[in-house]
């Protein structure tokens, strides 16, 4: 049996894990490695990619920066989250704001130390990334449209770091990055609709607050239509192996979401739409392996040698 102190420490651990969204960071790590193996460095042996110390350093820098970003975002949004997500906020508040800020600075320091192993340019990249996340949380988040776009860019920035490292400038990479960007943008706008109550109460000038729910829905439907067109173009003009199954399923789910968006009125309905977007994004991460199944069967021959 755990003592009261041990239970308290365990609760604080889960609280901190909740604040930094550990599950999201794990998905990003998996996505970075899969993208490296199957997209950015597909012409290299798997072992060379997986055990690349520079790649590991970039992934660790990304993870630490993202975790720190969640902390500073939680710090600025604590009052709003108390309205929008009271149960999660109560768990998050088991760790004091001072402790969170201490972890914020430690994580950013770790990110820069890991980046320094790769190059001075990598340090500059992550220093700018850290500043951009803080500036977004402090200033830009409350601006309509700008806040959504910046948030979407910051979400895909860790993949941009890997993209620069491998210098893969193929068109398919840009097409898939744009597809991810549009999905994330739609998810962010849906979150604004879902959290409109807290945004109104605390003066956040999000798109739904400034332009209204109807305009927000129209924007979502327009971006949704463009995302569906992009998905079709990717399946028609690029060699993506069996990953076309993912894009076909995504198109179906996007059509369903577009229908749900127009009818949605409650927070619960927007939460369902939000979760569908999250499912598409996470499914996209794991479906990367469908680009070339031979990699799983043949390129792991280094394990047996």
Q: Which residue has the tokens 């369902």?
A: 272
- Tokens standing for residue 110: 């770790």
- Apex CA 240: angle with CA 61 and CA 223, to 5°? 75
Are the CB atoms for 88 and 81 separated by under 8 Å?
A: yes
Q: Please indicate, yes or no, whether the overall pTM of this predicted structure exceeds 0.95.
A: no
SS3 of residue 96 by DSSP: coil
212 sits in the region (left: phi over 0; alpha: psi -120 to 50; else beta) called: left
Any idea how long the chain is? Answer: 305
From first to last of the 305 residues of the chain, give the pLDDT tens digit. 667 776 666 777 677 777 778 889 999 999 999 999 998 988 888 889 999 999 999 999 999 999 999 999 888 887 777 777 776 666 566 677 888 889 999 999 999 999 999 999 999 999 999 999 999 998 888 888 999 999 999 999 999 999 999 988 889 889 999 999 999 999 999 999 998 888 887 778 889 999 999 999 999 999 999 999 999 999 999 989 999 999 999 999 999 999 999 999 998 999 999 999 999 999 999 999 898 877 666 654 544 45
What number of helices (H) and strands (E) belong to the chain?
16, 0
CA dist., res. 66 & res. 63, Å (int)? 5
Work out the angle between the directed axes of helices 22-35 and 53-76 (0-180°, nearest 10): 150
Backbone angles phi, psi at 43, to 5 degrees: -90, 0
Are the CB atoms for 182 and 55 separated by under 8 Å?
A: no
């Amino acid at each position: 049996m755990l003592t009261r102190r041990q239970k308290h420490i365990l609760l604080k651990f889960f609280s901190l894990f909740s604040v930094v969204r550990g599950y999201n960071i794990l998905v990003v790590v998996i996505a970075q490695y899969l993208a490296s193996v199957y997209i950015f460095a597909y012409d290299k042996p798997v072992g060379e990619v997986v055990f690349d110390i520079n790649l590991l350093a970039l992934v660790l820098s990304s993870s630490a920066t993202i975790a720190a970003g969640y902390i500073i975002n939680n710090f600025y949004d604590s009052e709003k989250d108390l309205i929008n997500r009271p149960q999660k906020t109560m768990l998050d508040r088991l760790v004091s704001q001072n402790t969170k800020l201490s972890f914020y600075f430690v994580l950013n320091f770790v990110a820069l130390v890991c980046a320094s192993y790769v190059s001075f340019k990598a340090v500059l990249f992550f220093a700018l990334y850290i500043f951009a996340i803080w500036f977004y949380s402090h200033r830009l988040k409350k601006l309509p449209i700008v806040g959504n776009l910046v948030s979407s860019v910051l979400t895909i920035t860790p993949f941009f770091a890997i993209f620069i490292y491998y210098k893969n400038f193929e068109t398919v990479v840009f097409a898939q990055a744009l597809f991810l960007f549009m999905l994330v943008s739609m998810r962010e706008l849906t979150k604004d609709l879902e959290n409109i109550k807290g945004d109104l109460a605390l003066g956040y000038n999000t798109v739904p607050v400034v332009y209204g729910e109807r305009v927000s829905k129209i924007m979502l439907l327009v971006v949704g239509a463009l995302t569906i067109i992009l998905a079709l173009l990717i399946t028609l003009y690029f060699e993506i192996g069996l990953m076309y199954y993912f894009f076909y399923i995504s198109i179906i789910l996007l059509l369903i979401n577009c229908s749900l968006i127009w009818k949605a009125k409650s927070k619960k309905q927007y939460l369902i739409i939000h979760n569908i977007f999250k499912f598409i994004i996470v499914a996209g991460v794991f479906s990367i392996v469908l680009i070339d199944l031979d990699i799983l069967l043949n390129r792991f021959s280094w394990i047996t040698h």
